[in-house]
Structure 1
Amino acid sequence: MSDPLVQPAPPPYQEQAPNYNNSQGPFIPDDFKYSTKVISCEPEVRQYFMNRVYSILSAQLLLTSSFTYWATQSEGLQTFITDHIGLWLFSTIFALLLCIALTFMPRYSDAIEITDEGTEQESTRVPWYCLTKRGQLGLLSLFTIAEAYSISIIALTYDEQTILSALFITTIVVIGVSLTATSGKFEFALESAMSVYYWLNWGLWILIGIGFTSLFFGMSSTVDLLYGWFGAILFTVYLFIDTQLIFRKVFPDEEIKCAMMLYLDIINLFLSILRILNHSNDD
């Protein structure tokens, strides 16, 4: 007969590996969600973050290229676009406003508090402009649609061969720069990267200033070519620095903002290359 005071031995402990492959993505601890940047997270979390960024970016580029291709092939859409130039101006301004909103919007997770019981509790003072992930995706979708419409009318001013050549060159440059930036062989110190970013922003303002001035005074053929080369170099460096910074300076829940940054770099690089190739064809 067994002794009632003697309890059976507990079953042997078996460590269970975390599941990083479920449909909801990897488990991200609270310190990773709210206060730890991507570079300090576990490798699985960094990989999941990278997959999310490039999945969103791929969807944006696919939507933009598909709409642009449709605009170049459909006479009905071409007629609609050329007959409604005001809509193009509206979409450009709308995309700019959405870009500013997504860039400076505070993180929604900053408004989430962790209670003593370890549960998440939404703060009662969440600003109206602090959107959830679904809301941010909605704004990003509207931004991408507006950008696609704006780019389509620009593409109509170029011949199809020039567009395809610019698309091919842009793809090669983006793949090469992205692989180089993520390889770690040419990694900038964070302070150096931010210093380069400072001068890149000045270069961007110069580019904007020249473009705005050309609306009133025009642009010579030589200046137009130099403008294209300056833009191509500028946004290539932007793409390199942004690719490094998004894995070192942001938090795991900012993949939407990061995808938008890379999208803008690639789109502006494409437009600059398009300008260069068009100038070469004119010669």
Structure 2
Amino acid sequence: MDLFGTSLKPAGYPGPASSLGEDGEVKGFDFNEQSIRRAFIRKVYAILMCQLLVTLGFIALFVLHEPTKRWVYANPALLWVALAVLLVTLFSMACCGNVRRQAPMNFIFLGLFTVAESFMLGVTSSMYDSKAVLMAVGITAAICLALTLFAMQTRFDFTVMGGALLCATVVLLLFGLIVIFIPKNTIVTLVYASLGALLFSIYLIYDTQLMMGGKHKYTISPEEYVFAALNLYLDIINIFMYILTIIGAAKD
């Protein structure tokens, strides 16, 4: 179990119907395990693509449609509603196993979270130039594709880095709190955003390998397809926001 109650087990751990051969390899479950894992990965990426399409739609609407932008700016309470929905759904899925495992409840909560997150991203993106947003989308897509291919090909096991990533996240959070009280400084902003993009790039590799299973030490249970899609979505969104921050700071 991880901190959120997600089922993590050492990869290749023999189940009740499996056995160990003379060479120490797990026998009797390879085909079923691989077929289940492949179906799980397809489901995760299908959910993720739907989330990203919704998010891109919101971003395009807020960046390119001026009346929508003015209407949202005139009604700031909508941001607080979106933030409340985002936090409630996120913590519900993270802390309550039944919420993220039982259909259709898991899809309802994930859908509400995605809409709330997309709304807030759309509002944030509307504060930047449309060319900067388009550039950030392109760079993020290229980075995520490259990192996903790297995670699938590399022999280095990133799933053992959970503790180090948690420590790095806490340090980045504290750094961000300090930056709030520092007068606006382009160099500090660039350093902070660069570290954030780097950290969540590593998170993307980590979460991709957890989903893949195989020879990695830790894997995520196939029952957790919504949680896996949520992890990847958050990684990509964070990379996008930090890249957008870098581009915005570089143009100032």
Distance 1:88 1:40, change over 3 A: farther
CA shift, 1:43, in A, is 2.1
Residue in 2 that maps onto 1:88: 79
Distance 1:186 1:130, change over 3 A: closer
Residue in 2 that maps onto 1:98: 89
Counterpart Cα distance in 1 of 2:192 and 2:81: 25
CA shift, 1:205, in A, is 2.2
Residue in 2 that maps onto 1:275: 245
Misfit runs of 4+, over 6 Å? none
Residue in 1 that maps onto 2:190: 225
Residue in 2 that maps onto 1:65: 56
Counterpart Cα distance in 1 of 2:163 and 2:48: 25
Q: TM-score, normalised on structure 2? A: 0.80
Number of equivalenced pairs: 222
Q: Of the candidates 30, 40, 48, which is equivalent to residue 49 of structure 1?
A: 40
Q: TM-score, normalised on structure 1? A: 0.72
Select the structure of larger CA radius of gyration: 1
Residue in 1 that maps onto 2:206: 241
Question: Would you say 1:259 and 2:225 are equivalent positions?
Answer: no
Gaps of 5+ in 2: 1-14, 18-28, 214-218
Counterpart Cα distance in 2 of 1:186 and 1:150: 37
Matches within 5 A, 1:174-185: 174-183=144-153, 185=154
Which residue identity does 1:245 align to in structure 2? L
Distance 1:253 1:236, change over 3 A: same
Residue in 2 that maps onto 1:147: 117
Matched residue SS, 2:191? helix
Question: Would you say 1:75 and 2:66 are equivalent positions?
Answer: yes
Question: Would you say 1:193 and 2:154 are equivalent positions?
Answer: no
Which residue identity does 1:61 align to in structure 2? L
Distance 1:130 1:227, change over 3 A: closer
Which residue identity does 2:68 align to in structure 1? L
Residue in 1 that maps onto 2:108: 138
Distance 1:78 1:31, change over 3 A: farther
Counterpart Cα distance in 2 of 1:273 and 1:172: 12
More helix by share: 2
**Does the Cα contact within 8 Å between 1:68 and 1:155 map onto a contact in 2?**
yes
CA shift, 1:130, in A, is 7.5
Distance 1:218 1:61, change over 3 A: farther
**Does the Cα contact within 8 Å between 2:125 and 2:133 map onto a contact in 1?**
yes
Of 242-251 and 157-166, more deviation after overlay is shown by 242-251
**Does the Cα contact within 8 Å between 1:180 and 1:186 map onto a contact in 2?**
no
Matched residue SS, 1:254? helix
Gaps of 5+ in 1: 1-29, 33-37, 109-128
Matches within 5 A, 1:154-173: 154-173=124-143
Could you give the per-residue CA deviations for residues 5-34 of structure 1, whole angstroms, max 9, x where no partner exists?
A: xxxxxxxxxxxxxxxxxxxxxxxxx979xx
